[in-house]
Structure 1
Amino acid sequence: MADTTSLEALPASVALLAAAVGSDQDPDDTARALAASVAHVPASERDERAFAAVLAVLPTTRAWLVAHGLSAAQADASIADVPRKRDRYGILGTGMGWFCGIVTGRVVAVGRLQFEVGTHLPDGTAAWGVHVPETGPLDPEACSRSFAAAPEVLRRLAPEHEATVWSCRSWTLDPGLAAALGPEANLVRFAERFALLPPEPHDEEEGDDSAAKFVFGTDLDVARTTVPRGRVQTAVHERWAAGGHWTERTGTAPVGVPSSA
């Protein structure tokens, strides 16, 4: 993987990330430690220096993933999310916490989907997180294959984080998605695999921001003024135009193969 940053990683930043690979440290805590390791450089350099450290450690991540049961192809697909997210959303737009989740081996790709170890439901129940990378259509059969294959991979990767429930938090779990896109849409069929937890106070604000980011690849203000293209962008815009909002909801499903309606 080519390092396209123009600034070199700081040795201290590389060392702390390398030490966190495979650890139980929360990715957000790792991100805060990484930020502290570059705090002494000019502010204009900090994000790029931190990201350079992530890139520098990815070979270590790949080797650790393969040593802990992922295939070479799965390891490659897992770390590929770092440049993909950077190219689509930028460093700040993605958030260093997500990059740290990838580089420390907490988030891995198994087929069409990504899975995260060490997550929990709001009540503290251990869960395996589910994420959707930007790698093409969300084909229901491909998703089912991912759900079927993931438990064995995740148990080998982090047996201490064994879970019996999948957890997904996404704007695509908005209850009105089926009415907006139709029941046969791939996004709708994915969302219907999960049973929604009760709504939270911040769901609406996060939902609009997430729809803007993941559908339009930009922030909410820009997304609202963007001319929509395609069915999903049009559906998102139509709700906004009508004065409505998108909600980000959390859904769960028993580990196994969540069925798609």
Structure 2
Amino acid sequence: MLPDAADLPDLLLDLAVPHEDINEVVALRRAVTADPAVRRLVEEGAEDVTGAVREVDDPSGLADRAAQAPAALGEYFLAYVFLAAVPHARAVHRARGIPDDVSRHTLADLGRGMALHRRRHGRGGLGVRQGHWLTRHFCGRLYQLGRLQYERTGLGERTAQAIRSAGTEVTGGEPSLDLHIPDFLGPLTPAACDRSLDHAREFFARHFPEEPHAVATCHSWLLDPQLRRHLAADSNIVRFQERFRPGWEDPEPADTTPVGFVFGDPDLPVPDLPRRTSVERAVGDHLRAGGHWYVGHGWFPWDR
């Protein structure tokens, strides 16, 4: 359901949509509502998004529907898809008793996604890849709780094997929580992570009591152990790594992943990467020396 014209600006602010995008999004509303075919395309996209709880990794249809969107909407089509999905997402949250501030902070990842799109491409909108990511928030799979985000998911078999090898009995597919580290949210300090984890343990026990979680996992370039060679032992990233026990090793290089997260564009030429911060120097210098970065996989017992 699309928001009323009078309510749209306030909704965009609640969703942390960048201020420089708001006027254009508001102006495009008529292009959506005046054409029944476009409105139907948006509403079908919203149904794809909110039904993605079944197939979150392939919420199918987003790319196809974006390709069918009229040129007048540009890359704002998917933003309208998620705006139309807001009532459903909020209803899912209300049914679980999710506090309003958690609901608002979780769905505000739409604005973060639009900010990331502008940082990379220099123009407003929302890309298909970011749209796929946001399905987790709008179908009730993922929640932002302080500094970290938590995705309700099933334990992967490779991770389950690593955990069993460490002496903890788990089964592939059982409920687990996957941690994500959002951008534009300040330093990843140990204190901020502690507060988030304390909040999360209470939150999931209260709102999802039927899903007991034995472990939490994380799959991120931030868990690549090579970072310890480049960063101080008391750095936030190294301290974050120390929370996790090692999972399985990924043999495939993922060099563009840290480049994208740290510098905003995974396709930037390595020789030109800036060296302004310790993390920028770590990522760029390692690649310039001929090294590779990998996605690390880690876990820890959820009940401390």
- Normalising by the residue count of structure 1, what TM-score does the alignment of the two structures yield? 0.84
Alignment-derived partner of residue 203 in structure 2: 153
Q: How many residues align?
A: 253
User: How far did residue 247 of structure 1 move?
Assistant: 1.1
CA distance in 2, matches of 1:50, 1:34: 8
Q: Are 1:107 and 1:116, in contact at CA under 8 Å, matched by a contact in 2?
A: yes
Q: Does residue 178 of the first structure (1) align with residue 228 of the second (2)?
A: yes
Counterparts in 2 of 1:45 and 1:158: CA distance versus 1, 3 Å: farther
Task: Give secondary structure in 1 for the equivalent of 2:54.
Answer: coil
Q: Are 2:113 and 2:130, in contact at CA under 8 Å, matched by a contact in 1?
A: no
Q: Which moved more, 1:115-124 or 1:154-163?
A: 154-163
Q: Give the alignment partner of residue 177 of structure 2, picking from 103, 112, 128.
A: 128
CA distance in 1, matches of 2:70, 2:112: 26
Amino acid at match of 1:128: L
In structure 1, the gaps of 5 or more residues are: none
Q: Are 1:129 and 1:167, in contact at CA under 8 Å, matched by a contact in 2?
A: yes
- Normalising by the residue count of structure 2, what TM-score does the alignment of the two structures yield? 0.73
Task: Give secondary structure in 2 for the equivalent of 1:105.
Answer: coil
User: How far did residue 69 of structure 1 move?
Assistant: 2.8
From the CA coordinates, give the structure whose radius of gyration is larger.
2
> What is the CA deviation profile of residues 152-172 of structure 1, one whole-angstrom value per residue up to 9, with x for unaligned ones?
323444455432111101111
Q: Are 2:52 and 2:136, in contact at CA under 8 Å, matched by a contact in 1?
A: no
> What is the CA deviation profile of residues 198-227 of structure 1, one whole-angstrom value per residue up to 9, with x for unaligned ones?
21232x2x2x12111111111143455232
Q: Which moved more, 1:146-155 or 1:42-51?
A: 42-51
Counterparts in 2 of 1:114 and 1:223: CA distance versus 1, 3 Å: farther
CA distance in 2, matches of 1:16, 1:95: 14
User: How far did residue 59 of structure 1 move?
Assistant: 4.0
CA distance in 2, matches of 1:197, 1:125: 16
Amino acid at match of 1:110: L
Counterparts in 2 of 1:157 and 1:15: CA distance versus 1, 3 Å: farther
CA distance in 1, matches of 2:147, 2:94: 18
Q: Give the alignment partner of residue 243 of structure 2, picking from 190, 193, 205.
A: 193
Q: Which moved more, 1:80-89 or 1:3-12?
A: 3-12
Counterparts in 2 of 1:118 and 1:158: CA distance versus 1, 3 Å: farther
In structure 2, the gaps of 5 or more residues are: 1-10, 33-37, 119-125, 159-171
Q: Identity of aligned pairs, percent?
A: 30
CA distance in 2, matches of 1:72, 1:166: 25
Counterparts in 2 of 1:59 and 1:177: CA distance versus 1, 3 Å: same
CA RMSD of aligned residues (A): 2.7
Amino acid at match of 2:276: R
> What is the CA deviation profile of residues 35-79 of structure 1, one whole-angstrom value per residue up to 9, with x for unaligned ones?
344454458968532331112222432342243132111111111
Alignment-derived partner of residue 87 in structure 1: 115
CA distance in 2, matches of 1:27, 1:125: 15
Q: Does residue 227 of the first structure (1) align with residue 274 of the second (2)?
A: yes
Q: Does residue 17 of the first structure (1) align with residue 17 of the second (2)?
A: no
Counterparts in 2 of 1:41 and 1:86: CA distance versus 1, 3 Å: closer
Task: Give secondary structure in 2 for the equivalent of 1:199.
Answer: coil
Q: Give the alignment partner of residue 262 of structure 2, picking from 191, 215, 220.
A: 215
User: How far did residue 183 of structure 1 move?
Assistant: 1.1
Task: Give secondary structure in 2 for the equivalent of 1:129.
Answer: strand
CA distance in 2, matches of 1:245, 1:182: 20
Q: Are 2:222 and 2:241, in contact at CA under 8 Å, matched by a contact in 1?
A: yes
Higher relative contact order (CA 8 A, sep 6+): 1
Task: Give secondary structure in 2 for the equivalent of 1:54.
Answer: helix
Q: Give the alignment partner of residue 112 of structure 1, picking from 143, 147, 164.
A: 147
Task: Give secondary structure in 2 for the equivalent of 1:235.
Answer: helix
